[in-house]
Structure 1
Amino acid sequence: MGRMIDEPLERLRVAARRTRELALSRAGTGLGHQDADDDVGTVGTDDALGFDPFPLLEALHHHGVRAVVIGQVAGIMHGSTELTGDLDLLWDGVPAHAPALAAAFTSVGARLVDETGGLVATHPGFFLRPRVGFVSPRASGDCCTPALPWGDLRVRGFLDRAITAVGPGGLEVHYVCREDLIRMRRALGRPKDLRRADELDLSVSDRRGSWPASDSAGDRQRE
């Protein structure tokens, strides 16, 4: 059995590497993250090819943007064993913060996706929408504000309760706390969300999940 990985960012690096390896071992699907089904998720799409969230996370840190990681990347940081092929973010939606956000996305060659699926430049004004899709050479996903409807959830409070993981080089990555991620999962209610909420529920609140460093037959290769 491989060594156990305790740090959230190291878990994420290992998971991203596994996602890339899995995507290279299969034929292309022609699907993007927006086309993912409700069970397997984005690990089954072509956005899993070359998936690496760290260039964008590092750019956000460099530009002083406090964007909080949500979705399954946050789940992995909490110890989930399911893989993902996209990166979802939540920020406060304050107009004064949009230029720095746009600069971070531009620095990694990201483009935004409009309502028709067309690519548009990373203009600060586009980020003020409740949700905007993005594509970049290493990671695609959605960037959301608290204005996006989440049922009865008060998502703005999730920003205040977010956890910060600090890497060896000083990289800071903010991610939604376990309890709030479970609430988001149950509010969305898709099969993959309910499954992942159950997985997180099985852990005590202070549990630090682990990943074996080498692949094993027991690894779950879902989003």
Structure 2
Amino acid sequence: MIDEPLERLRTAARRTRELALNRAATGLGHQDADDDAGTINTDDALGFNPFPLLEAFHHNGIRVVVIGQVAGIMHGSTELTGDLDLLWDGDPAHAPALAAAFTFVNAQLADETGNPMAIHPDSFLRPKVQFTSPGASGDCCTPTLPWGNLHVRGFLDRAITAVDPGGLEVHYVSREDLIQMRRALGRPKDLRRADELEDRQG
């Protein structure tokens, strides 16, 4: 049986790669994304494929929750994206497995100001690190990252798990929590996508 959220994501990632296939590189990454259009217009859309990293999390036994527009797509959003945003619990005991997963996909890390960082368990204990990899780039956050009045740690507990026929498990934030995150960020793309999710929910 095909898991619909994962099939939606596979289809969207394929469409993103096709859309960006013949587009000239701009030198812009997810951190440079326009607040309205999002990362679909950046170089991170080139070759976008989040599954190698999601599979690395699964095989290394680290529970990471997908947030952002990839989670939106899994909930049925039709907007494409070129980045993968992630949330994990920030427990130091789980950091080595997280580092192993990012190492496996040949990722590179940077702090919030763009300074390169080593892939080391301690690097992931920051509120947020940026990552780039051959298939997907984005932000990897812990609940200590400020989200206004939101209690993000609870989002981890309420996350949904999608399972494909091969046994891959992908955890993603619930629709209700994703809408709250969108409203808290408040950028044009976030408000538009929150409206879309609410319309689909209705």
TM-score range, shorter chain: over 0.9
1:172 aligns with 2:169: yes
CA distance in 1, matches of 2:10, 2:96: 28
Which of 143, 147, 155 is the equivalent residue of 1:146?
143
Note the residue ranges of structure 1 that are not aligned, 5 or more in a row.
206-223
Aligned with 2:83: secondary structure?
A: coil
Query: Given that residues 30 and 44 in structure 2 are in contact (C-alpha distance below 8 angstroms), is that contact kept between their aligned partners in structure 1?
Result: yes
Aligned with 1:164: secondary structure?
A: strand
Which of 21, 26, 29 is the equivalent residue of 1:29?
26
CA distance in 2, matches of 1:114, 1:129: 8
Alignment of 1:1-223 (within 5 A): 7-204=4-201
Note the residue ranges of structure 2 that are not aligned, 5 or more in a row.
none
TM-score, normalised relative to structure 2: 0.97
Please identify which structure carries the higher helix content. 2
Deviations 1:197-223 (A, max 9, x none): 000001227xxxxxxxxxxxxxxxxxx
Deviations 1:97-139 (A, max 9, x none): 1000000110010111134423322111010000000011110
CA distance in 2, matches of 1:127, 1:165: 25
What residue identity is the alignment partner of 2:152?
V
| RMSD (CA atoms) | 1.3
CA distance in 2, matches of 1:178, 1:134: 25
Query: Given that residues 3 and 162 in structure 2 are in contact (C-alpha distance below 8 angstroms), is that contact kept between their aligned partners in structure 1?
Result: no
Aligned with 1:65: secondary structure?
A: coil
Question: 1:25: Cα distance to partner?
Answer: 3.1
Question: 1:6: Cα distance to partner?
Answer: 7.0
What residue identity is the alignment partner of 2:99?
A
Q: Are the structure 2 counterparts of residues 157 and 55 from structure 1 closer, same or farther at C-alpha, using a change threshold of 3 Å? A: same
Query: Given that residues 110 and 117 in structure 2 are in contact (C-alpha distance below 8 angstroms), is that contact kept between their aligned partners in structure 1?
Result: yes
Query: Aligned residues: percent identity?
Result: 82
Query: Given that residues 112 and 130 in structure 2 are in contact (C-alpha distance below 8 angstroms), is that contact kept between their aligned partners in structure 1?
Result: no
Question: 1:76: Cα distance to partner?
Answer: 0.2
What residue identity is the alignment partner of 2:181?
M
Give 1:216's aligned residue.
none
TM-score, normalised relative to structure 1: 0.88
CA distance in 2, matches of 1:6, 1:63: 22
Query: Given that residues 160 and 174 in structure 2 are in contact (C-alpha distance below 8 angstroms), is that contact kept between their aligned partners in structure 1?
Result: yes
- RCO comparison, higher one (Cα < 8 Å, 6+): 1
